[in-house]
Amino acid sequence: MYRFIANKLLVPSTCVRGLDFPGVFVPSTSFHEYRKSGYVDKTQKKTSTRESIRNGLKELKQEIKNWTAEVKDGVMMDPIMAMPLPGEVDAQWFFNQNTNFDDWVVTADSDHNEGHSTCSFGVSPVGKGLFSGNLSTQLVKDGKVKNAGYCNIKSIRPLKSFKRDSFHDWSAYTHLVLRVRGDGRSYMINLGSAGYFDINWNDQFHFALYTRGGPHWQVSKIPFSKFFMTSKGRVQDHQQAVPLNRITSFGITAADKINGPFRLEIDYVGLERDPTHTEISAYEQYKTPYFYAGY
Amino acid sequence: MWLSPSLLLMIISIVTSICLVISSPSLFISWIGLELNTLAFLPLLLSKKSKLASEASIKYFLTQTLASVLILVGGLWFLAPWGGLATLTLLLGLSIKLGAAPFHSWVLSIAEASGWVPLFALLTIQKINPLLMLWMFCHLSMPFFYVVVLSSLIMGGLAGLTQTSVRSILTFSSINHVGWLMTALSFSLSVGAYYFLIYLTTLLCSILIFHMFNVSHINQLPLLSFKPSNQMLLFFALLSLGGLPPFLGFLPKWMILQLTVSYSLLLVGGVMISMSLVVLFFYLRLMFSAFMMGGVNLTTLSSDPLPFPVYFVALFSITGGGLSMIYFL
């Protein structure tokens, strides 16, 4: 009886994983109480209120400088000068020896004892970014985990001054351009588009990137119209265009259900505007005529 | 899409709410009209069927509900010996409803997420009811009203400078126009109504053209294959919206400036003139980007003529002022 209530009526993910949080159980599968669905950041230390205030005051001067720079940039920036021209690729992220890899969150299923995969993100021998590791679909024997085998890198959300959440504004562009050298395996490109309300916190757009085995680099030019929408990993029936003015993160996931090592070298991730590309969303929606049930 | 029974019902409900507010003898009946207006507009916002539209509709509902609560509380406080506080609360609620600065942040996020038709309704039709109620309680001698008018004029002008999305530019221009509208209403209802009707006409022309060519961003204009006649039409429509003579949009601004000078409201008049220049600048920048790569045809799109109603609206919004000026001279 308790297992029925736990698995069917209460929030399944938090109950199944037995995660430790003092939440109130709400009988709804659409209510998300915590942004990270109960996964706790183990590296984060608990600080007292006094220490938090002291740390905040130390950062105040820098935040005021950041705010001043934002205001100046807003006044002086001419949008016409920043207009992308067709055929030009505006690189968002370059990966080389000077890249700060701390700006990328690297996760695997083994981080929370849900699998045995491991991964890392650093500099390759030729001086580019290297996302590599070992995928393992072996299940952890706890009776709760049904699927295993993923590794992921994700960019951190852009912040404005005073730690305010911001977005990447890619509305001027139509394509995502990646210069990568893969190992023949397939990877998932993820665009996070977290919304304001909890029901949209876990909305993402995905595209499957198939790589060649090298040694040559490949330049993948992916239209944003080809990305499909998911919420908490579930593909949605009603598909729509990527909200390009509200992108919160960019990520790459290796989860192709094949055991073994993987290796993806990345030179840059950029954006391009192609004026001949007018497709908004590649996924046809079935609309019922008026006076029919449904939409 | 707009002939679907449910949306037709919502449009009729919005019109009913306007009639309710116009004809209501009491504040409470006016409040009912405001609520009907809010609830009937939500399905129009959701007509786009995207997650951003859902988010926008929730934000719209929450802000409008908060404003309605303030209006109701302000109205109830008139029965108590707190007349000054009651007027202040009422004005606060109406300013939030209008999207006047400094209570304007919700308008931008909703404008970005909505289609062109709901955007036009948000910037014009949805302002009718709060403006009608504002007319009864506003006067430029009240400090709070003065602050809201000046904030709207300044914020609408300066914040629009950094925008690249066409919807954001029109939204901030609308916030600037709210300052003009509120000033007009403080003089008389007929002046306010005159300004509103001309603003509606000039905005309708611009939005129709942007909708026809599906332009959402400033950088789409140079690469779109406009016919030169359509480009000029959009240019004149934007100049009319910006209030440049001899277009129609100049006439109400001239009228209000004359009234501000005759009532010795020189600060308000000065801010109006200076912010008009700023607003005109970002309209011109929008059109400058369209003319910058003139003659370069990278695509074969958008060379069809506009529908006749667009030409009719454009004719009135651009040249109506010229004809009227001949009459006054």
Mean of pLDDT values over A260-268:
96
The alpha-carbon gap from B203 to the nearest alpha carbon of chain A, in Å, equals: 23
The 10s digit of each residue's pLDDT in B188-212 is 899 999 999 999 989 998 898 888 8
Nearest by CB to residue B51, choosing from A83, A86, A200, is A200
The 10s digit of each residue's pLDDT in A47-82 is 889 988 998 888 999 999 999 998 888 777 776 666
Cα→Cα distances B153→A274, B98, B188, Å: 37, 14, 19
> What are the φ/ψ torsions at residue A203 (nearest 5 degrees)?
-80, 130
Mean of pLDDT values over A19-31:
53
The alpha-carbon gap from A113 to the nearest alpha carbon of chain B, in Å, equals: 33
> What are the φ/ψ torsions at residue A140 (nearest 5 degrees)?
-80, 135
Mean of pLDDT values over A110-137:
94
With 70 as the cut, is the pLDDT of residue A271 above it?
Answer: yes
The alpha-carbon gap from A276 to the nearest alpha carbon of chain B, in Å, equals: 6
Mean of pLDDT values over A254-264:
95
Nearest by CB to residue A172, choosing from B5, B219, B285, is B219
With 60 as the cut, is the pLDDT of residue A45 above it?
Answer: yes
Nearest by CB to residue A77, choosing from B51, B162, B220, is B162
Mean of pLDDT values over B239-262:
89
B112 in contact with A, Cβ within 8 Å: yes
Q: Which residues contact B329 (CB under 8 A, 6 or more apart)?
A: none
Tell me how far the alpha carbon of residue B275 is from its chain's centroid: 16
Q: Which residue has the higher pLDDT, B310 or B232?
A: B232
Mean of pLDDT values over A142-162:
92
pLDDT at B29: 92
Return the residue of B nearest to A74 by Cα. Answer: B162
* ipTM value for the complex: 0.80
B219 in contact with A, Cβ within 8 Å: yes
The alpha-carbon gap from B141 to the nearest alpha carbon of chain A, in Å, equals: 33
Tell me how far the alpha carbon of residue B169 is from its chain's centroid: 11
Mean of pLDDT values over A127-134:
96
Which domains, from first to last, does chain A contain?
2-7+84-272 (2.60.120.430)
Contact residues, chain B, for A286 at CB < 8 Å: none
The tokens for B164 are: 């690249």
Cα→Cα distances B139→A208, B127, B136, B183, Å: 61, 18, 9, 8
Residue A175 in contact with residue A271, Cβ under 8 Å? yes
Q: What is the DSSP letter of A286?
A: -
Mean of pLDDT values over A209-232:
94
- Residue corresponding to tokens 């940039």: A73
The alpha-carbon gap from A43 to the nearest alpha carbon of chain B, in Å, equals: 33
Q: Which residues contact B201 (CB under 8 A, 6 or more apart)?
A: B248, B313, B316, B317, B320
Query: B residues 146-175 near A, CB within 8 Å?
Result: 161-165
Q: What percent of chain B has pLDDT over 70?
A: 85
Per the omega criterion (within 30 degrees of 0), is the bond before B102 cis? yes
Q: What percent of chain A has pLDDT over 90?
A: 58
pLDDT at B182: 92
- Measured CA to CA, the distance from residue A222 to residue A229 in angstroms comes to 15
Q: Taking the CB of residue A199, how many other CB atoms lie within 10 A of it?
A: 16
Least confident of A77-81, A141-145, B25-29, B58-62: A77-81
Chains A and B form CB pairs within 8 A to the count of 67
pTM, whole model, 2 decimals? Answer: 0.85
Q: What percent of chain B has pLDDT over 90?
A: 47
Are A80 and B218 a contacting pair at CB < 8 A? yes
With 90 as the cut, is the pLDDT of residue A198 above it?
Answer: no
Mean of pLDDT values over B127-149:
86
Contact residues, chain A, for B4 at CB < 8 Å: 290
pLDDT at A142: 87
Q: Would you say the C-alpha torsion A39, A45, A48, A49 has a positive or negative sign?
A: negative
Return the residue of B nearest to A275 by Cα. Answer: B223
Q: Taking the CB of residue A235, how many other CB atoms lie within 10 A of it?
A: 11
Contact residues, chain A, for B215 at CB < 8 Å: none
Q: What is the DSSP letter of B108?
A: H
Q: Round the average pLDDT of chain A to a whole number and report it.
A: 85
Query: With b meaning 16 or more CB within 10 Å and e meaning fewer, what string describes B10-42?
Result: bbebbeebbebbeebeebeebbbbbbbbbbbbe
The alpha-carbon gap from B164 to the nearest alpha carbon of chain A, in Å, equals: 6
With 80 as the cut, is the pLDDT of residue B225 above it?
Answer: no
> Looking at this protein, which amino acid is placed at residue B57?
S
| pLDDT confidence bin for A252, thresholds 50/70/90 | very high
With 90 as the cut, is the pLDDT of residue B78 above it?
Answer: no
| pLDDT confidence bin for B50, thresholds 50/70/90 | confident
Q: What is the DSSP letter of A138?
A: P
Mean of pLDDT values over A14-38:
58
**Nearest CA to A250 among A269, A263, A267, A227?**
A269
**Nearest CA to A195 among A183, A205, A186, A203?**
A203
> Looking at this protein, which amino acid is placed at residue A79?
P
The alpha-carbon gap from A137 to the nearest alpha carbon of chain B, in Å, equals: 34
Residue A265 in contact with residue A129, Cβ under 8 Å? yes
pLDDT at B224: 66
pLDDT at A12: 47
Residue B71 in contact with residue B34, Cβ under 8 Å? yes
B47 in contact with A, Cβ within 8 Å: no
Contact residues, chain A, for B219 at CB < 8 Å: 83-84, 172, 273
Q: Which of A70, A76, A169, A171 to mutate to test the interface with B (most CBs of B within 10 A)?
A: A171
Q: Which residue has the higher pLDDT, B306 or A279?
A: A279
pLDDT at A21: 47
Q: Which residues contact B117 (CB under 8 A, 6 or more apart)?
A: B2, B44, B47, B211
| pLDDT confidence bin for A22, thresholds 50/70/90 | very low
Q: Which of B112, B219, B278, B299 to mutate to test the interface with A (most CBs of A within 10 A)?
A: B219
